Structure 1
């Protein structure tokens, strides 16, 4: 169980950095990203990191 703490921390850092980056790159007036191809990669990695965090949280709550 102790080995999962550094992995969780890494995914938190990734999610925060990518969330801020996506927010900064989004143009709210035109509703578009500055670099759409790079934004797709950011969104995929962001969603994956949030998925891993939620999965880990649920597993911790259930006691397994």
Structure 2
């Protein structure tokens, strides 16, 4: 069986600037965010974008199955 993990460039383009914003807003000496409410939204959006970028394609073969 073939691995159907796809890569969606649209969600990659969404995740990249959000990830950069999260890194720039993080204070690594105390492990806190500069703007906690906004960075929580960024974090949720980043995780969803990564999930959607790497989710499996659900294209069914239907009647084209080989014996």
Report the TM range for the smaller structure's normalisation: 0.7 to 0.9
Q: Residue 15 of structure 1 corresponds to which residue in structure 2? A: 15
Give aligned pairs, total: 52
Higher relative contact order (CA 8 A, sep 6+): 2
TM-score w.r.t. structure 2 length?
Answer: 0.70
Q: Kindly name which structure, 1 or 2, has the bigger radius of gyration based on alpha carbons.
A: 2
- Structure 2 residues without counterparts, runs of 5 or longer: 1-7, 60-67
- Structure 1 residues without counterparts, runs of 5 or longer: 1-7
Give the structure with the larger helix fraction: 1
Contact 2:25 2:33 in 1 (8 A): yes
- Please report the RMSD computed on the Cα atoms of aligned residues, expressed in angstroms: 1.4
TM-score w.r.t. structure 1 length?
Answer: 0.73
